[in-house]
Amino acid sequence: MSGKPRGSGRRPESGDLRVRRTRKLLREALVALVEESGYEPVTVRDIAERAMVNRATFYAHYDGKYDLLLDVIGRTFEPVRVGPLLAREPGEPVRVPEWLVGFLEAIAAQPRFYRGILGDGGSARVRADLRTYFEGLLLARIRAAGVTPESARMPPEVVAGFAASAALGSLAWWLERDAPYPAGQAADWYLELISSGVFHPLGLAPPRSGATTPGGAAGPVSG
């Protein structure tokens, strides 16, 4: 992730085929081990053995297992950094953006891995860093919307913290229950839930309701 959680020291990407292959093996090894036993018990030795490389090779590519984890999840979370919060054509109702549905679908495609990271038995450090990361992204977007501490009903930092915690809490709930609702519906509901907790405290008028997900499901989302 650009603007990664603290602690990342991954070496720059290389065009060398052997380097790319080794990093792919290491990423796949981490995912498999987390799916089996969760994140915390996994060691660098475990990862190296599963990838069939030695520890020196591992450290030639990553500073540690957390650094490797950031490389794995950064590929999934990149749309969160670059995608617009909502999608809307001029004169049209707000709709849930495709990147958000795609992001949830990517998470749902590896439920055991992401439960092992974000669930009750996951990594407290990852959850804390992701919350801080989300807060920073949201705060930047709030400021870009022209909101100032003087114009808002409460400090924007409070609103960003609320929305970030709600996002991670909702995501963990969804994963712990094996993603019981389609990604489009989950995205729809999340945005509807947080809209009243974001726009009103910031002194903003919520967008028109009548949002639709890219998959065609409709829902009265404002936010």
| Residue range 10-42, pLDDT digits in tens | 555 666 899 999 999 999 999 999 999 999 999
Read off the pLDDT of each residue in 205-209 and give the average, rounded to a whole number. 55
What is the sign, positive or negative, of the torsion defined by CA atoms of 91, 83, 195, 213? Answer: positive
Name all domains of the chain by residue range, CATH numbers in brackets: 17-67 (1.10.10.60), 83-198 (1.10.357)
Sign of the Cα pseudo-torsion (98, 183, 211, 193, in order): negative
Which of 33-37, 54-58, 103-107, 117-121 has the lowest average pLDDT? 117-121
Please determine, for residue 50, whether its predicted confidence score (pLDDT) is greater than 90: yes
Best CA proximity match to 200, nearest among 172, 144, 162: 162
Q: Which of 6, 57, 52, 8 is nearest to 32 (CA)?
A: 52
pLDDT at 34: 95
| Tens of pLDDT, residues 209-220 | 444 444 444 333
- Quote the CA–CA distance of 159 and 164 in Å, as a whole number: 9
Q: What percent of the chain has pLDDT over 70?
A: 78
Exposure b/e, 154-192, CB count within 10 A at least 16 = b? eebeebbbbbbebbbebbbebbeeebeebbbbbbbbbbb
Supply the pLDDT for residue 87. Answer: 54
- Tally of CA atoms within 13 A in the half-sphere of 134 that contains its CB: 21
pLDDT band of 56, cuts 50, 70, 90: very high
The rounded mean pLDDT for the chain is 80
Q: What is the pLDDT of residues 156-198, one digit of tens each?
A: 898 889 888 988 888 888 888 888 889 888 888 887 777 777 7
In the predicted structure, residue 57 carries a pLDDT above the cut 70: yes
Instruction: Report helix angle 17-37 to 65-82, nearest 10.
Output: 100
